[in-house]
Structure 1
Amino acid sequence: MATYQRNSWSEDNSRQPGASVLPPEVVRDDERPGPSAPWVDPNPLPQSPGQKRKRAWSSHSENQDLEEEPLVPEPKDIWAVESLHGLKMRLKKQRVSLVLPEHHQVFTRLLEDPVIRNFLAWDKNLRVSDKYLLSMVIAYFSRAGLFSWQYRRIHFFIALYLANDIEEDNQAPKKAILSFLYGKSCSQRPLFHKLRYQFIQSMGWRARVSREECEEIQAYDPNLWVWGRDRTLIPN
């Protein structure tokens, strides 16, 4: 199994997320500190109790980085009783999945895309897109934190590329995806890798998906036609 290292992505994008540069403070000549006491309005206007608090919050909000991506919470584990033996109780850890119905829905919608359908039909031997790799695509959709309407065809192929990068030991499946999308042209591949970096960054660098989670994803809609893409049923 290939091990995903964070350092391998540093070549694609050198800018760090969440960094903001504040403009330099401008001080007018008449505002420079001096020996004279500050002027005080003898007839100040009445100020509501929440006005100062609102002004402080507004100043804090202006310094926020508007491009900061939402943090994706880590899935938490729960414990359930598996069996009872007299006074002894055996507990079994159960993982709480963060995959929502909307993530399944956007995946099903993308399966209707003609380019994606042609790609799945092209991969007859399921070297790149068997049911477990496709399950990882849904898991990645849940971790990326995008709205369901934001997912496009390119996100499907980026997620599938990452799944092959994690689960396959050779470069052939990843090269097959790029060859299908761009042929022999190399002009669009740098943009693909830049988007790939941004996508895995939005997932919090969590690219590993367990077999148990893949099976849970498939069990949500067991009659979906892509879950029949079982590589073990293909004769060698």
Structure 2
Amino acid sequence: MARCFPFSSSVGQSTPTVSSKPSPTWEIKEEAPGPSATWIPPSSPPRTQGQKRKHSDWIPTGTQDRWAVKGMFGLKMQLKRRRMSPVRPEDHKAFNRLLEDPVIQNFLAWDRKLQVSDKYLLAMVIAYFARAGRPSWQYKRLHFFLALYLANDMEEDRQGPKHDMFAFLYGQDHTQRVKFQWLRAQLFRAIGWKAWVTREECEEIQAYQPEHWVWKRDRSLLQ
């Protein structure tokens, strides 16, 4: 949230001089601070390849803003509100810890064609962790798959590869799928129904650890 500080001024003993020049005026322009919270897909996809955009116990968090000078136009200064990423270092820490889970490692190794776990979908997992706002130590294997499943709901048309996550989580026990879908709905609710993650946000998340091996999971590099 932007905080305004008044200009400091010293009061002299002499009589102030009245100037005939007009005082500068300030014009504030607000821009959308973050992703859309509606179910209507925005016009620009966050990915290089075209996919569809659809639209507990978890604690949603808000998005912070800051102000920056956009430009000077004569005596007018125009300001714009810039979005500050809500992703915390502990969200990256939780994600990196979960990547050491042998079940998650086997799942990522299985998805050699990156159908359900390319670098953008994995960046969305971190974004959802940040929006849910849990302490990093609370995230478990199930939370990883819930977030990745929801990311695929937003980005992908193919249902088969996404449903293969159940085999890694529950094996042949199909009775757990209903509970998984209920928990997925709880995650959706916990992030304030804001499952849309822009390409810019994904790239900001990847830039936190640009040399991380997981960001090499790029579909455009597949032969």
How high is the TM-score relative to the length of structure 2?
0.69
> Mapping of 1:217-228 within 5 angstroms?
217-228=205-216
Q: Determine helix, strand or coil for the equivalent of 2:175.
A: coil
Name the aligned partner's letter for residue 184 of structure 2.
Answer: R
5+ long unaligned stretches in structure 2? 1-51
Counterpart in 1 of 2:168? 180
Q: Which has the larger radius of gyration?
A: 1
Q: Determine helix, strand or coil for the equivalent of 2:192.
A: coil
RMSD: 2.2
Contact preservation (8 Å) 2:64, 2:86: no
Name the aligned partner's letter for residue 223 of structure 1.
Answer: E
In the alignment, is residue 107 of structure 1 matched against residue 95 of structure 2? Answer: yes
Counterpart in 2 of 1:146? 134
CA deviations on 1:138-166 (whole Å, 9 max, x unpaired) are 00001112111111001000000000000
CA–CA distance in structure 2, aligned partners of residues 172 and 187 of structure 1: 18
Q: Determine helix, strand or coil for the equivalent of 2:66.
A: strand
Name the aligned partner's letter for residue 107 of structure 2.
Answer: F
The alpha-carbon deviation at position 123 of structure 1 amounts to 0.6
Counterpart in 1 of 2:6? none
Counterpart in 2 of 1:206? 194
Identity within the alignment, %: 59
CA–CA distance in structure 2, aligned partners of residues 118 and 73 of structure 1: 31
CA–CA distance in structure 2, aligned partners of residues 227 and 169 of structure 1: 22
The alpha-carbon deviation at position 79 of structure 1 amounts to 3.6
Contact preservation (8 Å) 1:144, 1:200: no
More helix by share: 1
Name the aligned partner's letter for residue 105 of structure 1.
Answer: K
CA–CA distance in structure 2, aligned partners of residues 88 and 139 of structure 1: 37
Counterpart in 1 of 2:24? none
The alpha-carbon deviation at position 82 of structure 1 amounts to 4.7
5+ long unaligned stretches in structure 1? 5-16, 18-67
In the alignment, is residue 165 of structure 1 matched against residue 153 of structure 2? Answer: yes
CA deviations on 1:157-209 (whole Å, 9 max, x unpaired) are 00000000001123123212223333454111112112212222221211111
CA–CA distance in structure 2, aligned partners of residues 143 and 91 of structure 1: 27
181-190 or 154-163, which moves further after superposition? 181-190
CA–CA distance in structure 1, aligned partners of residues 68 and 75 of structure 2: 16
Name the aligned partner's letter for residue 212 of structure 2.
Answer: L
Work out the number of aligned pairs and report it. Answer: 172
How high is the TM-score relative to the length of structure 1?
0.66
